[in-house]
């Protein structure tokens, strides 16, 4: 009698992606909105977690989500990762659209729940959150731009380079023969934390179009007008990383199977 494992259905994998992206956005953006400068308006910020706390929140949510739902869907939770893995030959191109839709939906649901909590909790909470940009990504020195006043060029370079390194790390630590599966989520989460520590002052740290869309839809016209940067250039970085990894680290004919193929014995 052969040892057969059941492949998760497409619907199950999409739900896992939506749940993981929900957790990522709710944990990261929620920390930025509720806890980064708590109590609101306090110049001394005696209780708020600040940039470091937000960076840790994004990293920790990825660790938890990857352990919880990674075995089901691969634990992408990010369109740039999905497309980067496809470019590297680790994921089927035909499945990318479904994953990306699930990620965007999961992220949008997360910010919707954040808004509901705020509306039921504090008067004028949404208006105040929008005045601060709703933790959206941005560039330039306007009220809704870069926290450090960095311009468009800086945001483009940073998003491409840091997303590319993020995807390269993921491809390395999840390799079928060279990676250590049990520790991969921890390495990925720590990498995302590091990226946020560098990138938050530049543009509030995207490296994930689903996260950027989720925040911008409640951020108002200014974040929406800059959203294209945080959709296009993280994807560019992910694709570059996938192609580089395939060219440099995967000799022809040595690519491991895509996750859905690997689970079928």
- Residue 29 above 80 pLDDT? yes
- Residue 156 resides in a domain: yes
- Residue 5 resides in a domain: no
- Residue 3 resides in a domain: no
pLDDT for position 123: 87
- Residue 4 resides in a domain: no
pLDDT for position 177: 84
Between 155 and 49, the more confident residue is 155
Beta strands in 97-256 (DSSP E): none
Provide the residue range defining the domain that includes 187. 10-262
| Measured CA distances, 264 to 16, 56, 85, 175 (Å) | 19, 35, 19, 17
Specify the CATH number for the domain of residue 26.
1.20.1080.10
Is residue 144 very low, low, confident or very high in pLDDT (cuts 50, 70, 90)?
Answer: confident
pLDDT for position 264: 34
Is residue 1 very low, low, confident or very high in pLDDT (cuts 50, 70, 90)?
Answer: very low
State the average pLDDT over residues 1-8: 59
Question: DSSP letters along the chain, please?
Answer: -----PPPPHHHHHHHHHHHHHHHHHHHHHHHHHTTTTTTT-SS-SS--HHHHHHHHHHHHHHHHHHHHHHHH----SHHHHHHHHHTTSS-GGGHHHHHHHHHHHHHHHHHHHHHHHHHHSTTHHHHHHHTTTT----SSSTTS-TT---HHHHHHHHHHHHHHHHHHHHHHT-TTTS-TTTHHHHHHHHHHHHHHHHHHHHS--S-HHHHHHHHHHH-HHHHHHHHHHHHHHHHHHHHHHHHHHHHHS-TT-PPPPHHHHT--
- Residue 117 above 50 pLDDT? yes
- Residue 37 resides in a domain: yes
Residue pLDDT, tens place only, 68-108: 999 999 999 999 999 999 999 999 999 999 999 999 999 99
Distance CA 198, CA 183 (A): 23
- Residue 265 above 80 pLDDT? no
Count of structural domains within the chain: 1
Between 145 and 179, the more confident residue is 145
- Residue 1 resides in a domain: no
State the average pLDDT over residues 205-210: 98
- Residue 2 resides in a domain: no
Helix then strand then coil, in percent of the chain rounded to 5, is: 70, 0, 30
Residue pLDDT, tens place only, 54-70: 999 999 999 999 999 99
79-87 helix and 152-173 helix, angle to the nearest 10 degrees = 60
Mean pLDDT of the chain, nearest integer: 90
pLDDT for position 33: 93
Distance CA 37, CA 20 (A): 26
- Residue 96 resides in a domain: yes
């Amino acid at each position: 009698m052969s040892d057969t494992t059941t492949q998760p259905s497409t619907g199950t994998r999409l739900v896992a992606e939506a749940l993981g992206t929900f957790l990522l956005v709710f944990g990261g953006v929620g920390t930025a909105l509720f806890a980064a400068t708590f109590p609101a308006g306090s110049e001394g910020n005696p209780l708020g977690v600040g940039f470091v706390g937000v960076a840790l929140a994004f990293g920790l949510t990825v660790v938890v989500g990857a352990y919880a739902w990674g075995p089901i869907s691969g634990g992408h939770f990010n369109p740039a990762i999905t497309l980067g893995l496809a470019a590297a030959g680790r994921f089927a191109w035909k499945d990318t659209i479904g994953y990306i839709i699930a990620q965007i939906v999961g992220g949008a649901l997360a910010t919707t729940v954040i808004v509901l909590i705020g509306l039921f909790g504090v008067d004028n909470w949404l208006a105040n959150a929008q005045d601060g940009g709703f933790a959206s990504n941005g560039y330039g020195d306007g009220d809704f731009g870069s926290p450090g006043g960095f311009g468009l060029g800086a945001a483009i370079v940073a998003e491409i380079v840091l997303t590319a390194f993020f995807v390269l790390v993921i491809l390395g630590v999840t390799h079928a023969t060279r990676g250590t599966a049990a520790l991969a989520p921890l390495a990925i989460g720590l990498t995302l934390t590091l990226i946020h520590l560098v990138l938050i002052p530049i543009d509030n740290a995207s490296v994930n179009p689903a996260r950027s869309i989720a925040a911008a839809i409640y951020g108002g016209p200014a974040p929406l007008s800059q959203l294209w940067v945080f959709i296009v250039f993280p994807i560019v970085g992910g694709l570059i990383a996938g192609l580089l990894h395939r060219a440099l680290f995967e000799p022809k004919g040595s690519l491991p199977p895509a996750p859905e193929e690997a689970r079928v014995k």
